[in-house]
Chains A and B, each alone.
Chain A
Amino acid sequence: MLKDIFVTLSIEITKIRKTMIFWISIAASCFMSFILGLMMWLVMNPDLLPPGILKTKVDLAAINADWPSYIGFVEMAVAALGIVLFGFAVSWIFGREYHDRTVKDLLALPVSRTAIVISKLIAVSLWCLLLNAIVFVLSLVTGALLQLPLWSAGLFPGYLTVFAVTTLLCLLLCPPVAFVASAGKGYLPSIGFVVLCMGLANLFGNIGLGSFFPWTVPMIYAGAIGGVTNQLPIESIIAMGITFIAGTVGTVYYWKYADQCR
């Protein structure tokens, strides 16, 4: 099984590297870092903005132009945008096999279908980790370039921990998206699923049940909903665990046992 996973993982990585969407996702991560830096620069220079929507947005953000505020701002953005960006990536990896009708070439091989699904999930995790690593490094570079005040060495471990946990929470949400992309036989249903979950995440967050809804949990943890907590209540851990396991088992089960007519 491990050998199968290693072989299929290397093929998945080749497939990802060769797609235009991979490079677009990297560009999106860089762009996201640029926008976060720009927002912070505008917070530092509020007089440069003419009255309008952008100025209102910056004012509403109500953050200070310093390192702790900037880090918190990046963490919130990573939680919200990470769910969407990761969702798109996993939709692509699983959905494209159905959309491009290449899935049939993966179904009667000496390599098990379980190994294929697991290697796809690992490949998408590596892809997403790379995207967030880019955001993390660029956020530090941008903060340094902006010469934000209140930096201290003690900030870094906390930032790294919250960033890593937020990334992990977003990754745990990938398997259900993989299931929808497989059962929906393409990436559009799963992208729709991600958008729906984001809508529900806001709803559950606003009515105080966010800690029970997996797609709200990363945003609660990172402080994008309900103030900064950086904590995971037990119900959130259970909800995330169930979501990850159910998504993974469901996807493996679908690939192994469902009729494959594409």
Chain B
Amino acid sequence: MENNKQNGKVIETAGLTKLFGSLKAVDEVSLNVEKGEIYGFLGLNGAGKTTTIRMLLGMIRPASGEARLFGKKIIPGHPGPWEKVGYLVEMPYSYPELTVRENLSAVSRLRGLKGNNSLEKIIQLLHLTPYMKVKARNLSQGNNQRLGLAKALIHRPEILILDEPSNGLDPSGIVEVRELLKDYALNHGVTVFISSHNLAEIAKLATRIGIIHHGRLVQEIDAEKLDAELEKSLFIGIRDRKGAVEFLTGKGFAVNAANNGSIQISDPAACEEPEKINTLLVQNGFPPHHLNVVQEDLESYFLRTIGEKHA
């Protein structure tokens, strides 16, 4: 615990592993999340995100390894630091016959909150005021998601563990939740552990990203360094494509014929200084009519990462 206080780690896993029969759902996952960080936990469906989250919350027992929150080892059925943890696991479900207010009131009482202040605040914060008296069974998917988030946030937790919280939200709702979580982390020191299968969405929010694939944590990267990891390509539109490919290959460039009728060079030097390639081509009788440096999108990067690591 003392060590934990010194290094500021509030979420830790060490060799966390879970087997379902012969399937290794989570395989030796070790990660640390510091106070105030937003950790994006990225993976395809079935990669092991939810199983990891359930182990962090003491809902399932690891086959080996351990999870710690605030330095306290999480053991299913044993007391944990739950008063400081808010969570949303998979799709949120509420008691369908209770209204929004009644559902939140139940959570508020289970969390030991006094009075109605927290309840009123969270209803306003998540824009649920018009739906206060609506039964949960009659809510849209988006408002059901807001209710799930309200249940996770009602007690102003120090750790937020959220499993795909943007599911079902419309674009403005996604931005709203993103800004809300950023505010919690940056201005209130809340540590956010958020899972998703959407790197583009996670990249806008997280300070650090962990990619899980087939149960293994295959990469961790600071979000600010993500840009440098993305591959760039120079696309050149040219009439004599065959001649230009032969010429540039002869000059030592790795050249491919792109699907859009242009040629593609992925050499970092070519992408950094495309004007030099242009000059070279013009001087040798291959004048381009179009040059474009394109950065790999996040989806491609994610798929490339899991593809490489899995291979």
Contact = CB atoms under 8 A, between A and B. Distances in A.
A256 B57 CA distance: 13
Interface string A90-132: 0000000000111011111111110000000000000000000
A107 B61 CA distance: 13
A150 interface: no
Interface in A208-240: none
A62 B48 CA distance: 65
Contacts, number: 77
Contact of A102 (B54, B58, B83, B94): B94
Q: How large is the interface on B (under 10, 10 to 19, 20 to 34, 35 or more residues)?
A: 20 to 34
Contact of B93 (A14, A100, A261): A100
Contacts of A10: 109
Nearest to B87: A108
Contacts of A206: none
Contact of B95 (A15, A107, A112, A256): A15
Interface in A228-262: 255-257, 259-261
B82 A11 contact: no
Contacts of B83: 110
Contact of A105 (B77, B80, B107): B107
Given A107-B58, A108-B87, A18 B98 contact: yes
Contacts of B58: 107-108
Nearest to A253: B77
Contact of B77 (A11, A101, A110, A257): A257
Contacts of A7: 109-110, 112
Interface in B69-127: 76-77, 79-80, 82-83, 85, 87, 89-91, 93-98, 102, 106-107, 109-112
Which among B82, B102, B109, B110 has the greatest number of chain A C-beta atoms within 10 A? B110
A8 B112 CA distance: 11
Given A108-B57, A108-B85, A108-B87, A113 B77 contact: yes
B106 A14 contact: yes
A8 B95 contact: no
Contacts of A109: 82, 110-111
Contact of A112 (B54, B79, B97, B151): B79
Most buried by B among A8, A18, A108: A108
Contacts of A255: 77
A153 interface: no
Given A7-B109, A104-B59, A260-B59, A110 B96 contact: no
Contact of A110 (B59, B60, B82, B87): B82
B78 to A, nearest CB: 8
A137 B80 CA distance: 47
B98 A14 contact: yes
Contacts of A102: 93-95
Contacts of B112: 7, 110-111
Contacts of A100: 93, 95-96
Nearest to A256: B77
Contact of B54 (A11, A113, A261): A261
**8 nearest interchain CB pairs?**
A256-B77, A259-B60, A101-B93, A108-B57, A260-B59, A110-B83, A18-B97, A257-B77
6 contacts: A15-B97, A104-B59, A107-B57, A108-B82, A257-B61, A257-B77
Interface of B: 54, 57-61, 76-77, 79-80, 82-83, 85, 87, 89-91, 93-98, 102, 106-107, 109-112, 151
